Copies of this chain bind each other. A is one copy, B any other.
Amino acid sequence: MKKKNITIYDIAKVANVSPTTVSRVLTGNPLVKDSTRKRVLEKMEELEFTPNEAARSLTRNQTNMIGFILPDITNPFFSQTYIDVERKAFEKGYTVLLRNSMSSSEMESAYLREFVERRVECIVFMGGRINKSKPTEKEMTEMKEVMKRVPLIMVNGWMEGVDCHTIRTDEEEGMRSIVHHLVSLGHRDIAFIGGQKGVSTVDLKVLAFREELKKYGLECHNEWQIYSGFGIDDGRVAMRQLLASKKMPTAIIGMNDMVIYGALKECRKQNVPIHNFSFVGFDDIFPSDIVYPSLTTVNHNYDQLTSEIIETIMKIIDRKDSQKEILIETKLIIRESSHTVNEHYFNSKEM
């Protein structure tokens, strides 16, 4: 029943050469006579031979695989990053293994182990533990253990005390540009919604946000900083809370685009005129250009980000020097959702 696998030995036999020669044409060794190369290739075609990559990996001690752990590929921020990396890696002859951790530490551990077993040549890590201000001891030591065996690159995150290649977009600067933009539109009452304390991408933004408020001499209302989470519904929750407060902000910054989508939705549910507020998101994922109003947001510069990732990977694999920390400039994309303080707002309020 078991169909015999066709190997270079079978090809060698029918082509009247040694397995070595077959192997040579496989690896593109130029020392083979054209006529024999041609004959071998013909026989391969004939017998429908396909080299076994596992065997190859075993002898060459390299797999041409790269591992990529991220929280959730259904989030356009990650899918846009991933797809570019996949394409650029393929051009270099590498294959990417994608794993969705859902930010679960257990999943991350399982996938890290798998990657080591499969002998990937480099691991790209996003989200989860590398965004925790206080990762657990286990998470840190595990990371170090893995890094003894496989080089690892952290994207938009890091771990205190874990020395490692780091590539991240300059989220602080992104946040500063948002505040600057809003202030220049006349806003003085600015809220920040979404995210979660203890997550570095959040803490980073909040810190920059507060510093910037101070710089412009604006008051920092703690009740306007609502750490409700990262999803659409979390944005709704935050907006609901804002709408229920006595004094309301005139501008709302989201931890990411998603929470702003939720905020917009909540306004509609409550029949609050959407232009009462200016909204600004973060990430510039594709729906931000189609929601209404289209969303002002910070673009991560995906092309540069992914280029740096792949370049760093290749340098590490080729044992070339490469910059340990890379910071990517962001770009503020101004769309309809941010505007001068709306006077209708004040008119429409009973005051």
Q: What residues of chain A have their CB less than 8 Å away from a CB belonging to chain B?
A: 5, 48, 50-55, 57-58, 61, 63, 72-74, 76, 79-80, 82-83, 86-87, 90, 95-100, 110, 113-114, 116-119, 145, 148-149, 232, 261-262, 264-265, 268, 286-287, 289-292
Contact = CB atoms under 8 A, between A and B. Distances in A.
B74 A86 contact: no
B54 A63 contact: yes
Contacts of A117: 50-53
A5 B54 contact: no
Instruction: Report copies per complex.
Output: 2
A293 to B, nearest CB: 9
A80 B72 CA distance: 10
Nearest to A286: B74
Nearest to A294: B265
Contacts of A73: 73, 79, 82-83
A257 to B, nearest CB: 10
A148 B95 CA distance: 24
A97 B95 contact: yes
Nearest to A292: B292
20 contacts: A5-B61, A50-B113, A52-B119, A53-B119, A54-B57, A72-B83, A74-B76, A74-B83, A76-B76, A79-B79, A83-B100, A87-B100, A90-B110, A98-B98, A232-B289, A265-B289, A287-B287, A287-B290, A291-B291, A291-B292
Contacts of A148: 48
B53 A55 contact: no
Contacts of A290: 232, 261-262, 264-265, 287, 291
Nearest to A290: B261
Contacts of A76: 74, 76
A22 B264 CA distance: 59
Nearest to A61: B5
A160 to B, nearest CB: 23
B58 A55 contact: yes
A98 B287 CA distance: 23
A264 B262 CA distance: 19
Contacts of A265: 289-290
A232 B135 CA distance: 41
A159 to B, nearest CB: 20
A1 to B, nearest CB: 10
A32 B116 CA distance: 26
A114 B94 CA distance: 11
A90 B290 CA distance: 35
Contacts of A232: 286, 289-290
Contacts of A110: 90
A149 B48 contact: yes
A3 to B, nearest CB: 9
A251 to B, nearest CB: 20
Contacts of A262: 290
A100 B290 CA distance: 24
